[in-house]
Homo-oligomer: A and B are copies of this chain.
Amino acid sequence: MQLLLKEKIVEIENGNILSPQGFTTAGVHAGLRHAKKDLGIIISEIPASAAAVYTTNQFQAAPLIVTKESIEREGLLQAVVVNSACANACTGVRGHKDALIMRSLTSEKFNLKENYVAVASTGVIGKYLDMEKVSNGIQSLSPGKSNSDAVDFQTAILTTDIVMKSCGYSSIIDGKTITIGGAAKGSGMIHPNMATMLGFLTCDAAISPENLSAALKRVTNHTFNQITVDGDTSTNDMVLCLANGLAGNHPLTPEHPEWETFVELLKKACENLAKQIARDGEGATKLVEVEVLGAKDDEEARFIAKQIVGSSLVKTAIFGADANWGRIIGAIGQTKAAINPYTVDMAIGPIKMLENSVPCAFSEDEARNYLNQPFIKILVDLHVGKGAGKAWGCDLSYDYVKINASYRT
């Protein structure tokens, strides 16, 4: 069933937020950073159904509160304005006002209802936005449909990221081509539940805000919430999805015969962006995928997978291409998940490390060669149930320390 769904979904080469119908975008240098573009916008030609998931951090930044309020009014959005360099978090009453001004400036400039505008910020916590620069930046935004416009936006939202992150997928649903595009940023402070990460998804499907929210939440738990770079969650991050209906399908609902195809389409896009973020973790040299099988249930499988991929000791061992599987065992054992200490199988790539919790003989050279690849797969089968889940992360290198020892100054 899963396989059939996946076959119906086509990845778009160089897909991005402009792949679906009816979106424009732009990115400019407003001066919040020295040289890099730092302010961007996505606009839908018509009001689009909107859904968002937000950081679980208790100190939610001002832009999140403003965006929530925008979406709550009608469930629709037509624009998202984003800045990097300054998170506008822990900035109190003044920060909240600044986010409101950012929203109203955008609404005026593009002649949109205020509550059709979402606001996002990422960067240093505890600094005020330079509103003069933000204001001038918004004035200079000139959204377009060319590939370079998409690149401008993708660049403007980055902080310590090394590469831009975008994707596009399409599928035939209801006899119509439905397309989804995405852009994301995030590289450090990435852990559970929307951590220092921004994800933007554009889509031309017809779907109500409620159903879009339900689909996004479901998919996020299996994708964005399953990546970790350093275990820290941020005050600012969110994933926002706009669906403007221009594909002309009958509105998608859970009762629609092709609902699962749509969910899978959304999942593909989210998983793609999530993996790009993990791969671009601060200082990362490798993308690590952990798959856990045989857990009590899917939730425990996901939790264990994330514990393994988030362990500093596992991450440093992978950086050093050292098949130190004892650290994987340590990471599993420190969860409260149901395990049987005598039935664990484990493999690093194609190399079996443990069978029924007993160490297997393996070639250190072969293991080292495998661990020197850029994509590392760890498979664990607990043999206690039928739960399965995946998580993604990266290794922990000298450069992680270098980047984070002096991020602010």
Which A residues have a C-beta under 8 Å from some C-beta of B? 56-60, 87, 89-92, 124-127, 188-189, 191, 195, 230-235, 311-313, 316-317, 319-320, 322-327, 329-336, 339, 341-342, 354, 357-359, 364, 396-398, 400-409
**Contact present for B58 and A334 (CB under 8 Å):** yes
Shortest distance in angstroms between A65's beta carbon and chain B's nearest beta carbon?
11
Nearest residue in B to A311 (C-beta to C-beta)? Answer: B232
**Contact present for A404 and B332 (CB under 8 Å):** no
**Contact present for B322 and A58 (CB under 8 Å):** no
**Contact present for A327 and B125 (CB under 8 Å):** yes
Docked pose: A405 CA to B232 CA in angstroms: 21
Docked pose: A398 CA to B398 CA in angstroms: 5
Shortest distance in angstroms between A225's beta carbon and chain B's nearest beta carbon?
13
**Contact present for A404 and B316 (CB under 8 Å):** yes
Docked pose: A317 CA to B405 CA in angstroms: 5
Docked pose: A312 CA to B404 CA in angstroms: 9
Cross-chain pairs A/B with CB under 8 angstroms, 25 sampled: A57-B333, A58-B336, A58-B341, A59-B329, A60-B333, A90-B329, A92-B342, A124-B324, A125-B326, A126-B354, A127-B359, A189-B327, A231-B231, A232-B311, A232-B312, A233-B334, A235-B330, A316-B401, A316-B403, A317-B404, A320-B409, A322-B408, A322-B409, A324-B407, A396-B404
- Are A56 and B231 also in contact (CB < 8 A) when A90-B359, A313-B404, A405-B320 are? no
Which residues from B are CB-within-8-Å of A124? 324, 326
Q: Which residue, of A195, A331, A400, has the highest number of chain B Cβ atoms within 10 A?
A: A400
The 7 closest A-B pairs by CB, nearest first: A125-B326, A320-B405, A316-B404, A59-B333, A57-B333, A58-B333, A230-B312
Shortest distance in angstroms between A209's beta carbon and chain B's nearest beta carbon?
27
**Contact present for B231 and A322 (CB under 8 Å):** no
Nearest residue in B to A283 (C-beta to C-beta)? Answer: B401
Task: Among B57, B317, B324, point to the contact of A334 (Cβ < 8 A).
Answer: B57
Nearest residue in B to A408 (C-beta to C-beta)? Answer: B324
